[in-house]
Amino acid sequence: MSNKSLSQICNFSLNESKAENILCLNVEEISSFADEIIIVTANSNRHAASVSQKLVEHLKQNNINVIGVEGELDSGWILVDCGDIVVNIMKQDQRDFYDLEGLWGENSLLKKLN
């Protein structure tokens, strides 16, 4: 499956789950583990868990193998590894603290998806 299709499935699922501030970083030229990193904001730990569960369901419905899901319910950050795309679902305080946009953003193509 092409990254575009995988990216479209992720974006559809994240939007349907009401994830906020969806940002896609193209890190293909600077990363060995992924071509894209998607960062989204969830409004609570429960919302983050729901967003990740729905994303995994959508990926499986499209016959996409999910490599792994990391993060505890109360951590405020859940990572879904889809292979070429890694999705970070974070509460706003975690997103501000870890500043993944700042870490990866300088050397990547930023694309705001909603």
Measuring CA to CA, how many Å separate 31 from each of 10, 25, 85, 96?
Answer: 20, 11, 11, 22
Each residue's pLDDT expressed in tens, for the chain with a length of 114 residues: 555 599 999 999 999 999 999 999 988 777 778 889 999 999 999 999 999 999 999 999 999 999 999 998 788 999 999 999 999 999 999 999 999 888 876 655 555 555
In one-letter notation, the amino acid at residue 107 is N
- pLDDT at residue 47, as a whole number: 96
* Token couple for 102: 């700042």
Q: Going from the N-terminus, what domains does the chain have, and what CATH number goes with each?
A: 3-112 (3.30.460.10)
The pTM of the whole model exceeds 0.75: yes
Residue 92: strand, helix, or coil: helix
